[in-house]
Amino acid sequence: MTGSGSWTLPPLRQGHPADQALLERRARAGGTGDAAGAVPEAVIGGVRCLLIEPASGAAHGDILYLHGGGYRLGSPWAYIDYARLIADAAERRIILPFYPLAPENPFPAALHAIVAVYRALQDGRSVVIAGDSAGGGLAAALCILAARAGERPAGAILVSPMLDLTAKSASLERNAARDPLFSKAAVQDCAQLYLQGHSPDDPLVSAVNGDPADFPPMLLLTGGAEVLLDEALAFASRLALGDRRVSLHVAPGMGHVWPLMSPGSAEAREAVAAMASFVKGLGTAGSRPST
Backbone angles phi, psi at 119, to 5 degrees: -70, -20
CA 118, distance to chain mean position in Å, is: 13
Report the candidate in 235, 257, 259 with the shortest Cα–Cα distance to residue 248: 235
Judge whether 70 and 99 are in contact, CB under 8 Å: no
Judge whether 69 and 30 are in contact, CB under 8 Å: yes
| Other Cβ atoms closer than 10 A to 16 | 11
User: DSSP letter string over 140-206?
Assistant: HHHHHHHHHTT---SEEEEES----TT---THHHHTTTT-TT--HHHHHHHHHHHHTTS-TTSTTT-
Q: Per the residue annotation, which of 4, 56, 75, 133 is the catalytic one?
A: 133
Helix residue ranges per DSSP H, the chain: 20-29, 80-90, 109-120, 134-148, 171-174, 184-195, 229-241, 258-261, 266-281
**Does the annotation count 133 as an active-site position?**
yes
Active-site residues: which are they?
133
